[in-house]
Structure formats: C-alpha cells, structure tokens
Structure 1
C-alpha cells in the first residue's frame, strides 16, 4: 500500500509544524490536522463517510489541551476508536513515551505499524517509519527497539510467573509446593521451587526474594 493522504494528531504546535514540514519535504501535500483526540476522530470519521479516507494516521499518545469535556483522552483511545471504524488505517505513533507495555500493547492489540520516539533524530526516524508503511512493514525506532529487546531478555515462562505470584502474595515455599500439587502443576517439589527462585534471582540480579518481587513487579511481569 502506498500512502497518499496523511492525518497528523498532535497538540504541540512546534511538533505539528516539524511533522508537517517533514511530510511536505517528502512530497505529501494532502495532510489533515487536529490538536486533540476528539477532533481528530471526528475528522477521520468524516473522511471515511465522505469516501475519502486517510491512508495513515500519525499521532502522539499524550495530549494536553484546555478542553475539559473530552471523550478520547489520549492517543491510545484515539487509535482504538478509529480502528473500530477503519481497521485498515495505517498508524504511526510519534511520542516521547518509551514504556515497554505501551509499545507492545499498541502493536499487539491495536495493530499499529510503527512506533517512533521523539527526540534528536525523531523526524528522520519518522521518514523511515513512513517508508516501512509504504512497504507493508512494521518499524520501531532504535530507542523503541532497545526497549522491546531489553524487556524480552527478562521474559519468564508461565511456571516461573506462577511461583512469583505466590511469593508476592506472601506464600512460603512449602505452601507453594502444596498449591502447585493441588493444581497438577509440576515440578512441584520444594527443591524445584527453591531452584527456580534461585535462578530467577540470578537472572534479575536480585539480592533476595523481596528484591526479586520488586524487580519483576516494576517490569510488569506479574
């Protein structure tokens, strides 16, 4: 799919200007704008109803504006709402946020096509994101890629997660062993549980069990 018509949802004038200037330099002239999510949704919806839909939405995630009554509070809600009307709409997120859960959820749940972090090379990365969309590929900028790769190195399996959940709830190893046996989960011996906890401490460089629970909770793993 080749992008022709682009909509930019961005509340900060300087960022809006930067994105628009970049798009114009790339040869795009059919560009829509909105400074808050409700307005963006209505304009995107009208374009669909007029049979002149946009090919690509470039949106921030965080919006600060003076309007008190807002239906859509942020970029995630805008993406979800417009995707329900137009699942085929391509989406590039252009944001300062570099949170693993947010990035992964946007790709997994909202099926976005690119995630670009604002910054020194943000507009150059945005061009790469648009190129990827034109080639039917997904794209993450180096910062977002590093975030995803770092978190992936901390992934745990279902068995380890279950043990960590029980530890977080205050269960002792002998209690966890009994709970696993009751659920038919194995290995369920105290020695196996102890070995798993020790392995996880090494993996997350945790000094003790309390530190381990803090680490995995902070990473959003449990």
Structure 2
C-alpha cells in the first residue's frame, strides 16, 4: 500500500490515520513534557517507522516516509495534548465557578450566622443587664425586708416596754396605796432607823476616843519609863560627888 503512495498529501493522510495514542496520563500532564517524550512514549511512532512497510522502502523514499511519520505523530500527540489540556482547563474553570458559587453561598451562610451570632450576643448582653438589674432589685428588696423586720422588732420591743411600764406603774400605784395605809408604821420605822444610826455614830465616836486615849496612855507610860531609867542613872553619880 505504501509503495502505491505517490504524492506527499496521500502519504501524509495515510500515516496520519495510522497514529495511535497511549499513556493518556502523560499526555494530559499539567507540567511541561518534552516533545520527543510525547512522541516516543505516547504514540506508536517507533512501531510505525520500524515496520517492514517502511524499512523495505528505498533510501530516499524511506527517509521521506520516516519524516512524515515523525511529523504526523508529533502533530497529532500535540493536538491531543492541547485538547486534553483545554478540557482540563474547562473542568478547572467549571470547578472554579462552582467553588466561587459555593464560596458565595458559604459567605452568605457565614453572614447569616454572624448576624444570628451577633443577635445572640446582643441578646446575651441584654439578659446579663436584666440579671444585674434583677440582682440589684432583689438586694434592694432584701434591704427593705430587713428594714421592715427591724422596724417590726422595734415596735414589738416598744410594745413589750409599754406593757412592762404599765405593769410597773400599776405596781407602784398599789404600793403607794399600801404606804398610805401604813404611814404611821413607816414613820416609826424611819425614826427607829434614825435613832439607831445616831447611836451607832456615837458608839463609833466613843470607840475612836477610847482608842486615842489608850494610845496616849501607852505613850505616857513609855515616857515615864524612860524618865525613871534616866533618874536611876543619875543617882549613882550624885553619890560619888
């Protein structure tokens, strides 16, 4: 079949249809891949130019055929790579758009959560303020209750004292009546107590006078004894003179 090919166009079309791809992963690799590596590792280039249909051709015809095979394998694998990469780009763009849409949705959700959270924070602050107010009011009520209790206790104390005062007043009135009926007896008792106290005072004064006289007597006795001793000492001296 190859020997019947005459024009370059026919030769090109024939070998173009014979190209087969392999190792699609390497063809679609996102990084840089050398062209010769794509040609050798991703097409059947080596099988084609080494086939008997090519190696049996005469020198120049074989060189022309190998050049065509090299070109069609290279161009087709590069086209395939371009198609796969563009498809990958489209997928990435679609994924990006999807991610952008999801991000937008997430941002909306986050904003709603923030609004809800902010509302909850404000609600919590309001509740805390109410709690502080209620606590203060409760303390004020406690103070008022304690004040009321103290006032009640004061009234009860006043009432108790009033009853005691009335009882004491009643007792004194009754005692006054008894004193009026026993006026003479009380006067006699007072007079007796007065006379008794006066007698005690006189007796005490006499005791003090007796004590003073006793002390004076002791002093005089001491002086008298001393004078006698002096006199007894003077008598021997007079006899010597």
| TM-score, scaled to structure 1 | 0.19
Give the structure with the higher percent strand. Answer: 1
Between Structure 1 and Structure 2, whose CA radius of gyration is higher? 2
Give the structure with the higher percent helix. Answer: 2
